Amino acid sequence: MLLSPSKINKHLGKNSGVKGWLYAIAGGIFISGPPYILYPMLGELKKHGARNGLLATMLYNRNVKIYFLPAIIYYFNLRYAVILSIYIILFSILNGILLEFIVSENE
Protein backbone atom coordinates (compact mmCIF):
# COMPACT_ATOMS: atom_id res chain seq x y z
CA MET A 1 0.00 0.00 0.00
CA LEU A 2 2.84 2.36 0.85
CA LEU A 3 4.75 1.34 -2.28
CA SER A 4 2.99 2.11 -5.53
CA PRO A 5 2.97 -0.55 -8.30
CA SER A 6 5.16 1.71 -10.43
CA LYS A 7 7.76 1.92 -7.66
CA ILE A 8 7.69 -1.86 -7.17
CA ASN A 9 8.09 -2.33 -10.92
CA LYS A 10 10.97 0.12 -11.02
CA HIS A 11 12.91 -1.35 -8.09
CA LEU A 12 11.95 -5.05 -8.22
CA GLY A 13 10.53 -5.46 -11.72
CA LYS A 14 11.95 -6.75 -15.01
CA ASN A 15 14.13 -3.70 -15.63
CA SER A 16 15.41 -3.32 -12.07
CA GLY A 17 18.90 -4.57 -13.02
CA VAL A 18 21.69 -4.89 -10.46
CA LYS A 19 19.89 -2.49 -8.10
CA GLY A 20 16.99 -4.95 -7.96
CA TRP A 21 19.27 -7.72 -6.71
CA LEU A 22 20.78 -5.37 -4.12
CA TYR A 23 17.30 -4.34 -2.93
CA ALA A 24 16.28 -8.01 -2.73
CA ILE A 25 19.36 -8.92 -0.66
CA ALA A 26 18.91 -5.92 1.66
CA GLY A 27 15.17 -6.60 1.88
CA GLY A 28 15.78 -10.22 2.89
CA ILE A 29 18.31 -9.22 5.54
CA PHE A 30 16.25 -6.43 7.10
CA ILE A 31 12.77 -7.85 6.65
CA SER A 32 11.42 -9.51 9.75
CA GLY A 33 8.47 -11.73 10.43
CA PRO A 34 7.20 -15.27 10.12
CA PRO A 35 6.57 -16.84 6.69
CA TYR A 36 2.78 -16.68 7.08
CA ILE A 37 3.09 -12.89 7.17
CA LEU A 38 5.82 -12.64 4.52
CA TYR A 39 4.29 -14.89 1.83
CA PRO A 40 1.07 -12.86 1.39
CA MET A 41 3.15 -9.66 1.43
CA LEU A 42 5.52 -11.02 -1.23
CA GLY A 43 2.48 -12.26 -3.15
CA GLU A 44 1.26 -8.65 -3.28
CA LEU A 45 4.68 -7.51 -4.55
CA LYS A 46 4.53 -10.22 -7.24
CA LYS A 47 1.06 -9.10 -8.32
CA HIS A 48 2.46 -5.60 -8.79
CA GLY A 49 5.33 -6.73 -10.98
CA ALA A 50 8.15 -7.95 -8.71
CA ARG A 51 10.36 -10.60 -10.35
CA ASN A 52 10.26 -14.22 -9.13
CA GLY A 53 14.05 -14.34 -8.84
CA LEU A 54 14.19 -11.29 -6.62
CA LEU A 55 11.44 -12.64 -4.35
CA ALA A 56 13.33 -15.95 -4.03
CA THR A 57 16.55 -14.04 -3.25
CA MET A 58 14.72 -12.02 -0.61
CA LEU A 59 13.37 -15.18 1.03
CA TYR A 60 16.80 -16.85 1.02
CA ASN A 61 18.46 -13.90 2.77
CA ARG A 62 16.07 -14.17 5.73
CA ASN A 63 18.77 -16.36 7.27
CA VAL A 64 21.14 -13.37 7.56
CA LYS A 65 19.86 -11.49 10.56
CA ILE A 66 22.05 -8.78 12.03
CA TYR A 67 20.14 -8.72 15.32
CA PHE A 68 20.60 -12.49 15.73
CA LEU A 69 24.40 -12.25 15.26
CA PRO A 70 25.12 -12.34 19.02
CA ALA A 71 23.20 -15.64 19.26
CA ILE A 72 25.03 -17.29 16.35
CA ILE A 73 28.39 -16.00 17.66
CA TYR A 74 27.57 -17.36 21.13
CA TYR A 75 26.68 -20.84 19.86
CA PHE A 76 29.29 -21.01 17.08
CA ASN A 77 31.80 -18.15 16.57
CA LEU A 78 32.33 -14.92 14.64
CA ARG A 79 34.29 -16.58 11.81
CA TYR A 80 31.51 -19.10 11.28
CA ALA A 81 28.85 -16.36 11.31
CA VAL A 82 30.73 -14.20 8.78
CA ILE A 83 31.57 -17.04 6.36
CA LEU A 84 28.06 -18.51 6.54
CA SER A 85 26.50 -15.07 5.91
CA ILE A 86 28.74 -14.47 2.87
CA TYR A 87 27.79 -17.84 1.40
CA ILE A 88 24.10 -17.23 2.05
CA ILE A 89 24.24 -13.90 0.18
CA LEU A 90 26.19 -15.41 -2.75
CA PHE A 91 23.93 -18.45 -3.03
CA SER A 92 20.80 -16.32 -2.71
CA ILE A 93 21.68 -14.67 -6.04
CA LEU A 94 22.34 -18.05 -7.68
CA ASN A 95 19.07 -19.30 -6.21
CA GLY A 96 17.18 -16.34 -7.69
CA ILE A 97 18.78 -16.74 -11.12
CA LEU A 98 18.07 -20.48 -11.25
CA LEU A 99 14.49 -20.07 -10.02
CA GLU A 100 13.84 -17.41 -12.62
CA PHE A 101 15.30 -19.71 -15.28
CA ILE A 102 12.99 -22.57 -14.29
CA VAL A 103 9.82 -20.70 -13.30
CA SER A 104 8.44 -18.21 -15.79
CA GLU A 105 7.16 -14.84 -14.56
CA ASN A 106 3.46 -15.53 -15.16
CA GLU A 107 3.43 -18.79 -13.16
Enumerate binding residues for other proteins (CB under 8 A).
1-2, 34-37, 39-44, 46, 52, 55-56, 59-60, 62-63, 65, 68, 71-72, 74-76, 79-80, 83-84, 87-88, 91, 94-95, 98-99, 102-103, 107
- Nearest alpha-carbon partner for 59 in 9, 96, 90, 85: 96
| Separation of alpha carbons 32 and 85, rounded Å | 17
Q: Where are the beta strands (DSSP E) in the chain?
A: none
Phi-psi region of 64 (alpha: psi -120 to 50; beta: other; left: phi over 0): beta
Q: Write phi, then psi, for 78 (nearest 5 degrees).
A: -65, -40
Least Cβ distance, residue 81 to other proteins (angstroms): 9
